[in-house]
Amino acid sequence: MKVDLIIAGAGPAGLFAAIQAAEDNKNKDILILEKNHSAGKKLLISGSGQCNLTHAGNIANFFNHYGDNFNFLLGPLYTFDNKMLMNFFKHRGIKFRKARGGKIFPASNKASDILDVLLKECNKKNIKIKYNTAVKNVSYNENLNHFEIKTTNRNYLSSYFLLATGGKSFPKTGSTGAGFKIAADLGHQIIDPRPALAPVIIKNYQFKSLSGISLRNKKISLYRNNNLLRSWKDDLLLTHRGLSGPGIINYSRYIKSGDIIKIKLLNYNKEELEKNLIKKIEREGKLNLLNLLINYPLAQRLIEKILKMSEIDGSINAAHLNKKERKEIIEHFSSLEFEVKELAGFHQSMVTKGGIDLKEINPQNMESRIINNFFAAGEVLNIDGDTGGYNLQAAFSTAYLAGIEISERLKN
């Protein structure tokens, strides 16, 4: 069967690219191939099912939220920004709400409303979706200038091909990394996929009983081979296996097994903290140690755990604390140390770091620099953003550029 455009993947990038490509091209055959029995499975679980579509901030501030590859997104995000994305859905009946930190959700809190708009637009534009149809192999016939697509059901020929199969995160939704193999078979380099926006599992973790305790706006430092890689301030969460929260998840793209994470629990340097603690002891030395320490803005259970780890009796009079014990407490409060065992796997990571090497994709139209008329959009590219709507925005923006480029070519 010969068609004009085949898109692999009926997620947000695939659906949106198809909608743009079909603009003024209603007589063209556009076909989306989806391995699942329905579209947008991962979209439906985004934002805990509420769909954090984008962020309310100025688009110029988005680029700090994409790690080292932000330059690639300059064209896509400025061409199709967050306001344009929201307007697309507003014009089709979606109302939005702004949540804490600037996150944008549909007012209904239903990701299904976003998906419904995309599917209705596909239907209006006569875009066909074949479900339960996984793409197995794609080859390019240079002499005939078309793609040969083999699927689980039948084979297709297409003048244009767009890859929007996603990454490897949440494989139960169908994101198994199949798109990486397709791109590699067509000659593209794949940057090794690994979990991103993922919690961190800690080696010899001692805080399991403290799972659920939040640490607000703490300085976090990342070390590798005794060298400081970077420091930042953000919120984090103690879990039953390690560390999570935005201060960990948003920086997990930089974290590897064996790294050391140090958390500054209090806003003092070690010298200031020691002076402060000594003064407290001088004034209130008759208090038992635990009662003195809970005056610091830390959860009591965390302080109790640190004392236990340090083999210090919290029931002693604070005045009886010796110098070695005082130094031990100061060290933990100033630089609580964790050794990374590993990142949580793809089943827990929100997105994938890695994918098609961005050097091989033209950021102005998402076309391959290796094969003409081959396009890629969304998470299959080596792009990963922070939590807060940045990944869906990147998916829609890259899909938009690919779609409008294909639309123009289909008119010729």
In terms of domains, do 87 and 190 share one? yes
Please tell me the distance from the alpha carbon of residue 215 to that of residue 234, in angstroms, as a whole number: 9
Whole-number pLDDT of residue 174: 81
> pLDDT by residue for the chain (412 residues), tens digit each?
899 999 999 999 999 999 999 998 989 999 999 999 999 999 999 988 999 999 999 999 999 999 889 999 999 999 999 999 999 999 999 999 999 889 999 999 999 999 999 999 999 999 999 999 999 999 999 888 899 999 998 999 999 999 999 999 988 888 889 999 999 999 999 999 999 899 999 999 999 999 999 999 999 999 999 999 999 999 999 999 999 999 999 999 999 999 999 999 999 999 999 999 999 999 998 999 999 999 999 999 999 999 999 999 999 999 999 999 999 999 999 999 999 999 999 888 889 999 999 999 999 999 999 999 999 999 999 999 999 999 999 999 999 999 999 999 998 7
Upper half-sphere CA count for residue 331 (Cβ side, 13 Å) = 10
The three-point CA angle 299-302-305 to 5° equals 150
In terms of domains, do 136 and 215 share one? no
Neighbours of 239 (CB within 10 A): 22
In terms of domains, do 36 and 115 share one? yes
CATH number reported for the structural domain that contains residue 400 in this entry: 3.50.50.60
358 CB-near residues (< 8 Å, 6+ apart): 69, 72, 381, 382, 383
In terms of domains, do 279 and 144 share one? no
Q: Which residue among 319, 344, 369 closes a domain?
A: 344
Structure tokens at 158: 């297409």
Match 């890629």 to its residue by tokens: 376
Quick one: how far is CA 340 from the chain centroid?
A: 19
Whole-number pLDDT of residue 170: 86
3-class secondary structure for the chain?
CEEEEEEECCCHHHHHHHHHHCCCCCCCCEEEECCCCCCCHHHHHHHHHCCCCEECCCHHHHHHHCHHHHHHHHHHHHHCCHHHHHHHHHCCCCCEEECHHHEEEECCCCHHHHHHHHHHHHHHCCCEEECCCCEEEEEEECCCCEEEEEECCCEEEEEEEEECCCCCCCHHHCCCCHHHHHHHHCCCCEEEEEEECCCEEECCCCCHHHCCCEEEEEEEEEEECCEEEEEEEEEEEECCCEEECHHHHCCHHHCCCCCEEEEECCCCCHHHHHHHHHHHHHHHCCCEHHHHHCCCCCCHHHHHHHHHHCCCCCCCEHHHCCHHHHHHHHHHHHCEEEEEEEECCCCCCCEEEEEECHHHECCCCCEECCCCCEEECHHHECCCCCCCCHHHHHHHHHHHHHHHHHHHHHHC
Is the pTM for the entire model greater than 0.85? yes
In terms of domains, do 189 and 45 share one? yes
In terms of domains, do 340 and 367 share one? no
In terms of domains, do 152 and 212 share one? no
Structure tokens at 408: 């123009």
Q: Which residue among 328, 344, 360 closes a domain?
A: 344
55 CB-near residues (< 8 Å, 6+ apart): 62, 65, 82, 102, 103, 104, 388, 389, 390, 393
Q: Total domain count for the chain?
A: 2
In terms of domains, do 159 and 13 share one? yes
Handedness of CA 311, 315, 318, 321 (dihedral sign): negative
In terms of domains, do 20 and 77 share one? yes
Question: What burial class does residue 248 get, using C-beta atoms within 10 Å of its C-beta: 0-12 exposed, 13-18 middle, 19+ buried?
Answer: buried
Q: Which residue among 318, 344, 370 closes a domain?
A: 344
Structure tokens at 127: 């875009």
Whole domain around residue 143: which residue ranges? 2-196+351-411
In terms of domains, do 406 and 340 share one? no
Total residues belonging to the chain: 412
In terms of domains, do 192 and 256 share one? no
In terms of domains, do 93 and 219 share one? no
